[in-house]
Chains A and B, each alone.
Chain A
Amino acid sequence: MTIPADLKYTDTHEWARQEADGTVAVGITHHAQDLLGDLVFVEMPKLGRKVKKGEECGVVESVKAASDIYAPLSGEVVAVNSALESAPQKINEGAYDAWMFKLKLSDPQELASLLDAAAYRRLVESAAH
């Protein structure tokens, strides 16, 4: 199971990565894409949308099921990876390369509330038993 050490995670299986420009990139974890199976549709939040931590802001649909995407942190959507709309399988191919959107945080303190890699691994492993 791939869980990069330099990312932060949510218990709803999103990952968050601090970018050099101060924004935070968001995607779904390897574990999440593995559970969902082949992805066929991705719906991402609109550019400029202001989201609150934990708010529903997108959907990924696989051949098997649909799953909501939740904002891991509060902020404004400042970039959307529109390449995923026509190629959602990129998330299956590399969940941590396929960022879905980027947030400009309204409260950078929230970052501390996310799970680190070790905590996320424990979460996934406990769910598996």
Chain B
Amino acid sequence: MLKTPLNDEHRALGAKLVDFGGWEMPLHYGSQLEEHHMVRRDAGMFDVSHMLVIDVTGASSAPFLLRLLANSIERLERPGSALYSCMLNDDGGIIDDLIAYWLSERQYRLVVNAATADKDLRWLQTQRERLSLDVRIVPRRDLAMVAIQGPSAREKLWRARPELKPCSEPLSPFCAAQCDGWMVARTGYTGEDGFEVMLPADQALGFWRSLRAAGIGPAGLGARDTLRLEAGMNLYGQDMDETVTPLESGLAWTVDLASAREFIGRRALESRKPRAQLIGLICMDRGVLRSAQRVVTEHGEGRVTSGGFSPTLNVSIALARVPVAVRPGQTVQVEARDRLLRARTVKCPFVRHGKPLVELPVA
């Protein structure tokens, strides 16, 4: 199994390790719930070195990404800006979701999911050959990545590494800066403020330990999943894959159809009406919604794509793919084991910056 540079440290911290896309990763370090609350209330850190950083450079890097990504890198105003995008196949299905950073002229950086990394690389290389563009595609397995998230994340990072403050303090959300060979980005996957730091793999352990010394606790994939679900963020392979389009996955806002740009998958998106939509669910009964459960609505059936317990809201929430006619505020039924749970449809996110954004069922 693949291991990140922090693998031994996770063991030493008592992590429960699991296989995640071929990587041995920490699920939790004792209590997933405590790690979730720590990130919402203070600050926590995640080893996300299993995700792949890919540098795309060369004279044609911009035209290449304009063709490859459904969102437009022309929206990036200056080097250091980032955007979230899907990479589509010819049918409009989602090959992966990623963050694209504009580093400098002719230099971009993509951060893609661990489980799809090899497939993404093959796709990028195939398209480069198909388009015969002058582009270099460089996987950066030499980098580690640590996410520091939570209301105290910024302050505690600077306590741990004061030298990072001058370059990271001016950053707006979704922007990044190069700080002495490290890249510090004000991005994340929890609905909280914070940073994702990309650094040479051999410096990851020292960085991690300095963050711990500054009072940032480790959080595992379990908390990462409940945090991102509360933030209404999709998980690749669960809420979206190559069988659905961004328009069917609550990601229409990331698809640039306003310009005339010919990106891969565009024609399919324009010719194929969305067959379903992704919507939030709040469980009104005692019980937990789980992925793959059947959802019965007055407009037809759907499926839970991600479900779980929301530690912040203290109820179960889910993302579900349902018929397009379903509107927020409706009541649906979810088939959970041998019973039907009532759930209300809502617009995501459920939680943002620690605050509930949805009306909760009366206890």
A37/B309 contact (C-beta < 8 A), A66-B288, A66-B337 known:
no
Q: How far, in angstroms, from A63 to B222 measured CA to CA in the complex?
A: 8
Q: Is the CB of B28 within 8 A of A37?
A: yes
Q: How many residues of A contact B (CB 8 A)?
A: 13
- Any A CB within 8 A of the CB of B164: no
- Any B CB within 8 A of the CB of A38: yes
**Residue in contact with B309 in the complex, picked from A40, A59, A92, CB distance below 8 Å:** A40
- Any A CB within 8 A of the CB of B226: yes
Q: How far, in angstroms, from A65 to B287 measured CA to CA in the complex?
A: 11
Per the 8 Å Cβ criterion, residues 215-235 of B in contact with A are 222, 226
- Any A CB within 8 A of the CB of B308: yes
B293 nearest CB across to chain A (Å): 11
Per the 8 Å Cβ criterion, residues 80-96 of B in contact with A are none
Per the 8 Å Cβ criterion, residues 125-169 of B in contact with A are none
Binary A-proximity of B16-53 (CB < 8 A = 1, otherwise 0): 00000000000010011100000000000000000000
Q: Is the CB of A61 within 8 A of B222?
A: no
Q: How far, in angstroms, from A75 to B32 measured CA to CA in the complex?
A: 36
Q: Which of A38, A64, A65, A92 has the most CB of B within 10 A?
A: A38
Closest partner residue, chain B, to A40 (CB atom): B309
Query: Which A residues touch B311, using CB under 8 A?
Result: 63
Query: Which A residues touch B286, using CB under 8 A?
Result: 41, 43
A interface residues (Cβ-Cβ under 8 A, vs B): 37-38, 40-41, 43, 59, 61, 63-66, 89, 92
Task: List 9 additional A-B contacts (Cβ < 8 Å) besides A37-B222, A61-B309.
Answer: A37-B28, A38-B32, A38-B33, A40-B33, A40-B288, A43-B287, A63-B222, A63-B311, A89-B33
